[in-house]
Chains A and B, each alone.
Chain A
Amino acid sequence: MAEAVLPDRAVLGEFESAEALRRGALALRQAGWRMVEMYAPFDTDTVADGPPPRARSPLPAVALAGGAIGGVGAFLIEWWTNTRSYPLDVGARPRPAIPAYIPIAFESIVLAAALAVVLAWLIRLGLPRLWAPIDELEGFPRTTLDRFWLVCAPPTTWPAAQVEASLHTAGAVRVVPTGRGA
């Protein structure tokens, strides 16, 4: 679900700054528009004053699970190999030697958790995905440099001109219909 599902009426508006986009989006939402998605060169949530919205994400849970599996697994391997599978008298040291097993168990927690998080992140964003329809949008590549796009849909089916006009008033420098519907 990398791309939001576009309703027929959806249009794209290009803005020149995060601030402009934020204000435009606010105005349109008050006008009953539906916000679908946005594109920006950086994390705009962290720009506005006040805390960024709590984003729903599976990643923390995944990290916890990964870490748990890694840590417990590593500890069991250490314990089993040195005390059950092939016990040896090593310098007359006690077996099992729990404290000695801690460092590797800890490192394994971190390793497994990190790998799980990154993997889950890729899956969640559907990456790698080298091509998407929106890439065909003329001028869209500037998004990663200094352009901001808002994908939104008017409350009802309006004539294209009215849609464009209201977006412009909202601050968009350019408006592109999705090519569906009108």
Chain B
Amino acid sequence: MTALADVLSQRASERAQARAQLAEPPLILPGARGADLALRIITPLWTARRAWRFLFIVPLLLTGLFVVAMGVTLVQGIGAWGNNIPVAWAFGITNFVWWIGIGHAGTFISAFLLLLNQEWRNSINRLAEAMTLFALVNAGVFPILHLGRPWLAYWLIPYPATTGVWPNFLSSLPWDVAAITTYFTVSLLFWYTGLVPDLATARDAAPTRLRRQIYGIFALGWRGSGDAWRQHRIMYALLAGLATPLVISVHSIVSLDFSITQLPGWHSTIFPPFFVAGAIYSGFAMVLMLLIPVRRFFGWEDIITERHLDLCARLLLTTGLMVAYSYLCETFLAWYGGDPFERYALITNRAVGPYRWVVAAMMGCNLLVPQLLWWRRLRRSPLTLFIAATLIWAGMWCERFTIIVASLSRDFVPANWQTFHPSWVDISLLTGSIGLFALLFLAFLRWVPAVSISEMQAQQARSSGDARHG
């Protein structure tokens, strides 16, 4: 706690130094000032343009497909998928790992950058946290859906059953349950408690009585008294302190689903850091995929500035390099270790195996594309950035697929080697989950303040105050 207090006490001096060093334009451009900043964030909630209706069409259709595919899976069984022996895990777990990884960027931005006192997070943390939540919704669907008998999923939770049998805590799957539950709960709390003051703003600014009542209920009667703000500040810092190790632990545990086995291509000690880096990598890619259209659509270029894009892009490049390093380690150690099975799984099978094209896509998207971000001009060009982010986002799905399917399809006994071909249900579940995400995110943009008003106002007051002093 003292450490936390110190962090808080350091803020002012650090802030001054930081701005002195960075010969950067301010995070908020002169355009966004005073109450109108708050109003610009709030008013879209009740002055929606017609375009909204059309935006919802495609996500709704895809979500419908998602529901149908889930229905088929539940009625018919996993046989509706393309899975087989040896490839007993395929799209289902690939999607799970991919979505939960994407979630990590949100927590990273809101918690990590808060503790590190990175002011620029204020413009984007709300969006990023929402992304985390909705990604986790998808991530939560797949592990249950992929069970042979999903209606018995609760057997992974320890409860006093009449059989007297308990879960086996040697297995990493109960660890997953704990990790995902905790991660979703904490992310939700973090997002909501940060949202309460803005909901109060919405309550007080809302035009109609009904809206006032609805927002009023969710605002819990927040009035912004000095004491309330102090307690909020501490609570928020504590949650950040808890969420920071959490975000590291979650994908480490997910990676253990693979590294506790002895399957060549899974059985690797570098997985936890490798997966965490990959998770934040894919997450920042998706953050950019969301920020760029949103700022354009709402005309928030002066709230989410090119500098924000630049900073995200830098983090994208950094995590991208970490992932590249992991690929290098993995391959080198497979060769250096000399184990014939490892060598086959990680070198031969990936180079010339049946999934070499997926491997090629993964390498191209995850290793080559981020190298563009060395150029400042590209980092600040929304279009380039959007395309690069999308490629990386897809590339990371290919990485999960390669790790899971390519390794399973050719393990120890050549007579057992078989290839996996996705069924239409597999494809529908993947695209459908993307549709569900889009639907939830659009709803969030439509009905929830998408940028943290109070934090932006505080930041703005600071800058004006400093301007006055300096």
Show the binding face of A for B, using Cβ within 8 Å. 2-4, 17-19, 37-52, 54-55, 57, 59-60, 63, 67, 74, 77-78, 81-82, 85-86, 88, 90-91, 93, 97, 100-101, 103-104, 106-108, 110-111, 113-115, 117-118, 121-122, 124-125, 127-132, 134-135, 141-146
Chain B residues with CB below 8 A from A91, complex form? 170
Quick check: B38 and A145 within 8 Å, CB to CB? yes
B422 contacts the other chain (Cβ, under 8 Å)?
Answer: no
Instruction: Render B212-250 as a binary contact track against A, CB cut-off 8 A, 1 for contact.
Output: 000011001111111111111111001100110110010
Residue of B11, B35, B170, B201 near A46 (CB, 8 A) is: B11
Quick check: A117 and B169 within 8 Å, CB to CB? no
Q: Given A57-B230, A127-B220, A41 and B166 touching (CB < 8 A)?
A: no
Q: How many residues of B contact A (CB 8 A)?
A: 76
Quick check: A103 and B178 within 8 Å, CB to CB? yes
- Chain A CB count within 10 A is highest, among B164, B204, B226, for B226
Quick check: A42 and B455 within 8 Å, CB to CB? yes
Residue of B11, B35, B216, B239 near A145 (CB, 8 A) is: B35
B interface, over-half SS: helix
Quick check: B224 and A145 within 8 Å, CB to CB? no
Give complex CA distance A106, B182 in Å: 10
Quick check: A38 and B197 within 8 Å, CB to CB? no
Quick check: B168 and A52 within 8 Å, CB to CB? no
Give complex CA distance A14, B462 in Å: 20
Quick check: A78 and B169 within 8 Å, CB to CB? yes
Quick check: A100 and B224 within 8 Å, CB to CB? no
Chain B residues with CB below 8 A from A54, complex form? 5
B457 contacts the other chain (Cβ, under 8 Å)?
Answer: yes
Interface segment out of the listed B86-94, B185-193, B298-306, B425-433: B185-193
Chain B residues with CB below 8 A from A82, complex form? 166, 168-170
Q: Given A86-B164, A114-B239, A115-B185, A144 and B224 touching (CB < 8 A)?
A: yes
Give complex CA distance A81, B163 in Å: 13
Residue of A18, A63, A144 near B238 (CB, 8 A) is: A63
B465 contacts the other chain (Cβ, under 8 Å)?
Answer: yes
Chain B residues with CB below 8 A from A144, complex form? 197, 200-201, 203-205, 222-224
Q: Given A103-B253, A104-B174, A45 and B223 touching (CB < 8 A)?
A: no
| Smallest Cβ-Cβ distance to B175: which chain A residue | A103
Quick check: A127 and B169 within 8 Å, CB to CB? no
